[in-house]
Structures are given as structure tokens and as C-alpha cells.
Amino acid sequence: MSYNPNFYNKFRRNNATFHHNFRPHFVPPPPAPPPFFIPPTLSSENIPTDQEFLKGFEPHISVGKSPVHNKKISISEVREKLHTIILSLNNLKAKDKMLTENISKLSDEEWSSHFKQIEEKKAFIDSTLTQIKGPSLDVLQKLLAKRVAKRLRLKRVRSEIKKEKEDKWKEQKERSRKIDENLQRIKDDIIRAQQEQEAKLEADVVLKEVMRKKNDAKKCIMKLDLLVKLRKARQNTAKGRGETVPESETVAFHAGIETLKVEWTYKLSAYEAEEIELRAKLKEDSGQQDMLTNATEKEVANNLVKWRETLFGGQLPQVDLRGDVTRFIAVRSQWDQYVSSEGTALPIGWVPPAKKVDS
């Protein structure tokens, strides 16, 4: 590459980086003084002192007016001032009445003294009213409004708390009443069940007694039949030996036996009728007990159906994966291995947590 001596000169007018005929935009500093130059010093007489400087500087300071803060007046103070004003007014009224009544009796000095007191009272009332009026009156109105609002709010809160307590008391009373009713119903059910059980036991005892009497009646009838056969056998034996048996005795014997048989047969019929009645009563009681049991079981079944509909939407949960036993066993095995490789199966109703992802 050859060297061109005019390369930089072509850009001296257009390039600001080259300092050919370039004027700066600021005033250059003055040149440094020569080393032998000593500047003149001021004499101590011409230097002002601190007191003189402060005296000359003090008139130029602008003094700002401090804000006037009105003293806040409280409601109690205003109440006391108003009470004092009312007392002063009452005193003025009393003095006016006294002067009106004694207008011709008082001397000039007494009139002057009373008028001086009246003027003092009037000046005191005016000064007190001046203190109350103005911005303080607006502040007092706001304070009174706040106090009224606060009292209303507290009254409302107290009424709400009172109403809430009354509602809670009524609710507790109603709950206690329902509990007492339930306890009384349970007691009545227990007493009724005990009475029914006792009645059943008594009926069983009576039935057993009736059955015993029935069996005794049957035995007596059988014994009477055996007695008739025994007498007939003895008569045949006596005839075989040649002995004579009076016919009247035979007739009397058969008459007595027939009378006894009729009596025992009547008793047997009565016992049988009583047995049939007791068995019917026991069957009716057992039927009522079965009906109550069935009603209770039906109520429990209906409650279970309602719970199942609430929990599972009216359909039975597919606990066996819709009949796929292989998949069901595989899923349960995975659950068991997730909990513990050597553990047992999960308890019924347990839901396993989400599987942790290894980061």
C-alpha cells in the first residue's frame, strides 16, 4: 500500500475529531501568574468582625409568622361553660326582678353597684360565648355527631349481641327439649319392650301351665279308660271262678266313670281353647315385633341408600374394577408395594397419597 500525505487533510472540514481551526465552546481559564507575583493582602482594619457581619445580615432575615393553633375544646369544658352561662343568666334574671321590685328603695350607689355587677356578668357571658362560637362550635358539632354515631353503633352492637344470646338460649332450650323428648321416647321404648318381654314370659308360663293341665286331663281320661278295662278283666276273672258280680255295682261304677270322663273332657276342651288363644296372642305379639324389626331394618336400609346416593351418585362403586379381577389384583398389589414391599393390604376406606416424583 502506498502512503497518501493528503489523506487526513481531506477530512479537516467535515470531521470534528481533527483540531484544525476548531474553536471551543467555553471560555479558556486565565494564564497562570508568574512565580514572582505576590497578590496584595487586605489589612485587618478592613475585615469586618463577626458581630458586625451578623448586624448587617440580621435585617435581611425574613421572620415568618408562626401558625396560630386554636386550642381544642372538649365537650366537658363546653358543658361546664354552658352551665356557668345558665347560672349567670339565672342570676341576671333574679337581679332584674329584685331591681324591678326595689326600684324606689335603692340608692344611687346601690344602683351603680348592681349595674356594675350586671355589666361584669354580661361581659363574662359574652367572652364565654365567644370562646364557644367559631371554629370550636364546628369541632364540637363533629364531636357530638361522632359521639351520637358511636352510641348508636354500640347500642346496635349490644342489641345484636343480646339478640344473638337470646337466639342461642332459644336454640339450646329447643335442643334440650328435643334431647329430653328423645330420652323419654327411648325410655318409653325400653319400658314397652320390657313390658312386652314380661308379658311374653307370663304368657309362656301360663301356656306351660295350661299345657300341663291339658296333659293331666288326658292322663286322667286314659286312667279312667284303664280302670274300666281293669274292672272288666276282674269281672271276667270272677265269673271264671264262679263268683257272681252284682249288676247294680257295675252300673254304678260305669255311671261314676262316665261322670268323671265328661268332667275331664270338658276341662280338656277348656284347656285346649285356652291354649289356642294363648298361642294366637303370642303369634300376634311376635308378628308385631317382626313388623317393628322389619320397619327398623327398612329405615336403616333407606338411610344407607341415601348415604350411598350422596357419596357415589346413586350408583354402586366399582370396587372390583367392573369385574376385571386380574386388573383389580394388579392395582391392589401396586398399592401394597407402594406402601411397603413387605406390608399387608391397605385397610378398607384408605386413600393412598400421591406418588412422589424423584427430582
Mean pLDDT is highest, among 167-176, 235-244, 330-339, for: 167-176
Picking from 227, 226, 231, the residue whose alpha carbon sits closest to that of residue 246 is 231
Picking from 83, 84, 111, 116, the residue whose alpha carbon sits closest to that of residue 98 is 111
95: Cβ–Cβ under 8 A, 6 or more apart, which residues?
Answer: 114, 117, 118
**pLDDT, tens only, 294-322:** 788 888 888 888 887 777 666 665 565 66
Distance from chain centroid for Cα 59:
76
Give residue 108's pLDDT band: very low, low, confident or very high (50, 70, 90).
Answer: confident
Global pTM value: 0.35
Phi, psi of 131 (to 5 degrees): -65, -35
Is the per-residue pLDDT at 42 higher than 70? no
What count of residues does the chain have?
359
Burial 26-38 (b: 16+ CB within 10 A, else e): eeeeeeeeeeeee
Of residues 54 and 42, more confidently modeled: 54
**pLDDT, tens only, 325-344:** 777 777 777 776 666 666 66
Separation CA 274–CA 266 (nearest Å): 12
Percent of the chain surpassing pLDDT 70: 73
Separation CA 86–CA 187 (nearest Å): 75
Long-range contacts of 174-183 (CB under 8 A, 24+ apart): none
Alpha helices (H) along 72-107: 75-101
Task: Please state which of the ranges 218-222, 247-251, 284-288, 353-357 shows the lowest mean pLDDT.
Answer: 353-357
136: Cβ–Cβ under 8 A, 6 or more apart, which residues?
Answer: 70, 72, 73, 78
